[in-house]
Structure 1
Amino acid sequence: MAQQTPAVLNHIAVYVTDLGKSTAFYGGVFGFKEIAEPFKDGKHTWFSLGNAGALHLIQGAKSTQKFDKNEHLCFSVPSIEAFIKNLTSKNIPFEDWAGKAGAITTRVDGVKQIYFQDPDGHWLETNDMK
């Protein structure tokens, strides 16, 4: 039997209530670059995630809901401290895994991580994994 080629991530879709607000958030917080959006319907923003694929923001969520922190998107940055300065300059609160405001979790392997929410309440992790 021939070995199947593994699938690769194409995109992640996040359903949002306010496309403009979420586009500004993801672009401003993470520095993601917008890429061509084929639908051209005013209901989508696409960002490049490099080799990982793309992030699609889709307008249409009816209301914010409570999300569990276990269900999150994670992005790595070169410096968690520099990233925290960016969050702080934008008045975006963050916490450690346990929920302590303004704290950083250090994993057993030494990776530092923080958690915060996007405008719709989706949980995001940012870490300094190399």
Structure 2
Amino acid sequence: MSALDVDRLTTVIEDFNTIFIRLPSVRRLNFSALSVLHTLDRNGPLRLTALLATEQLKQPALTSLVAKLEQDGLLQRDPDPTDGRASLLSLTADGRQLVHSRHANRVAELTALVDRLTPAERAVLAGSIDVLHRLTELAEDPR
């Protein structure tokens, strides 16, 4: 078995991400806005401080972005039941619809690309799903 070329893997992932994030979508938003929406969709209501830990933005920029997304009707603030001074941010129905529509659109676009692979290439890709998921889990582990 050959050694894993992590440098090449990194380049391939970067190139794939560049293509993937640019797949046609139902609504164009900047990467930071999409990241916040996807984080709230996956993790449920969060405080702004919890979002700061996941997003690569400084507090003033994130506060401004959250205000814009709230103004656009994509997220809402509700009182934190454990601390009346704090708010929890969550997606509105429109925000959830946007995230789910983008996901469905990407599934369709990626399916069209995957269909162009050979059966052997599709099998390799299928075998990679669990490994990529595991890498994501490891990256989220604070160790």
In the superposition, the TM-score normalised over structure 1's length comes to 0.30
Q: Say which structure is richer in strand.
A: 1
In the superposition, the TM-score normalised over structure 2's length comes to 0.28
Q: Say which structure is richer in helix.
A: 2
Larger Rg: 2
